[in-house]
Amino acid sequence: MKYISTRGDTDPKPFSEVLLMGLAPDGGLMLPEHYPQVSAQTLESWRGLSYPDLAFEVMRLFITDIPAADLRDIINRTYTEAAFGTKAITPVRTLCDGIKIEALSNGPTLAFKDMAMQFLGNAFEYVLQKEGKTLNILGATSGDTGSAAEYALRGKKGVNVFMLSPDGKMSAFQRAQMYSLQDENIHNIAIEGMFDDCQDIVKAVQNDAAFKEKYHIGTVNSINWGRIVAQVVYYFAGYFNATSSNEQKVSFCVPSGNFGNVCAGHIARQMGLPIHRLIVATNENDVLDEFFKTGEYRPRLPEFTHITSSPSMDISKASNFERFVFDLMDRDAVQILALWAEVGVGEGFDLNLQLDKIRHRYGFVSGKSLHQDRLATIAAVYQTDGELIDPHTADGIKVAREVREPGELVVCLETALAAKFEKTIHEAVGNEVAVPRPAALAGLEGLPQRVQVLPNDAAAVKQLIREALEA
């Protein structure tokens, strides 16, 4: 299996090379030359597999340059009961109204990003050791990617992490998770701006070919294909756990800001997984909802991005969206270049003529949830089911209930645990309700924190990287 760029000007690459590169040299995103097709017979043979065995079967279709025994070892070391708290890894439970929730938040940082990031950490270490290379990760986070990456890569040989986050825009728990790490290979950088500013800096540095080459810059953001391929697995796991037969179809509702999580669902559907619909749930930053309703993609400037109580979705430029549009436009790189040239100058594009294809061929539908909606959903689920859900998962459940068709089996992806957002949970259900958190994270906010604050300036970030690596 080789990988190509959405922009069309990068030679096909093997997985191991794509894993280390982040953005393609031409500025595009890497995708497999084709999506492997999974037959009904294969699906049946996968039903009942353990999560690590299922992950191996799915991922080996995409990762053909790592020997099978080595890939299996990487996966077996990643998806363990010790790391994820349960043998099932991603158990599925059912709410009183029949909506199901797939738990993706049992990893070390209590967010779905662990599902891919734990794999990425082990895969990085394997490839770097095998090739005798080092890698300096530059990433951006709106809350969960950063901590998941840092926990996966802390202490890893040959890897440094430089993680950008918007200064003061994350929850106290999220900040503490990241900034309390004291490992020498972890560098936290708070940018005076929004997440989109952080993401723009990452792309600017990625596009500086000389700097990228000299300092071996890679990324763990969802622009990294390694993230996406690991996420594809839990759609298969969720499907098997939610159904009793491959004759059934399932719809997945996915809280989405950067489009990486739901992009993995799109790929699973293209592979042949019986997914009826992919339901995109946004918060007040509804650029994606607007697209799936109207065909217009209008990214907003950071100053027009809302600061919300589901902060991991406070994003107005969806980095992974280009992967889907590439498929939507029949993989025409020339069209992608033209469309993203419009995005690059602060405009957007209108694909309303593609709406029928978007909805029927690709199965997308969307909705949005506002602050009062998520508070009401958190309170309602607590009252009826006795459990606390985080604000992003609440956005998903609200939208799922809003758009669900009669008889439709909907699985909502639980993207984080309530413990990460105590303030919002208490606003929804009252301060007297205790928000459970793992014992290992008790007193997290009181730990010493290590972070550097920088202006919204790519040059300043590059200078910090230089100084850290040349010290």
The domain that contains 427 carries what CATH number? 3.40.50.1100
Residue 43: inside a domain? yes
Residue 92: inside a domain? yes
Q: What is the pLDDT of residues 311-338, one digit of tens each?
A: 989 999 898 999 999 999 999 999 999 9
Percentage of the chain surpassing pLDDT 90? Answer: 88
Percentage of the chain surpassing pLDDT 70? Answer: 100
Residue 7: inside a domain? yes
Residue 152: inside a domain? no
Q: What is the pLDDT of residues 422-434, one digit of tens each?
A: 999 999 999 999 9
Q: What distance in Å separates the CA atoms of residue 304 and residue 321, rounded to the nearest whole number?
A: 19
Give mean pLDDT, residues 375-381. 98
Catalytic site includes residue 113: yes
Query: What's the domain count of the chain?
Result: 1
Q: Which of 13, 87, 100, 113 is catalytic?
A: 113
Q: What is the pLDDT of residues 229-244, one digit of tens each?
A: 999 999 999 999 999 9
Host domain of residue 304: 1-129+224-437
- Virtual CA dihedral for 151, 157, 158, 164, nearest 10 degrees? 10
315's tokens: 């994003």
Residue 86: inside a domain? yes
Residue 446: inside a domain? no
Q: What is the pLDDT of residues 96-116, one digit of tens each?
A: 999 999 999 999 999 999 999
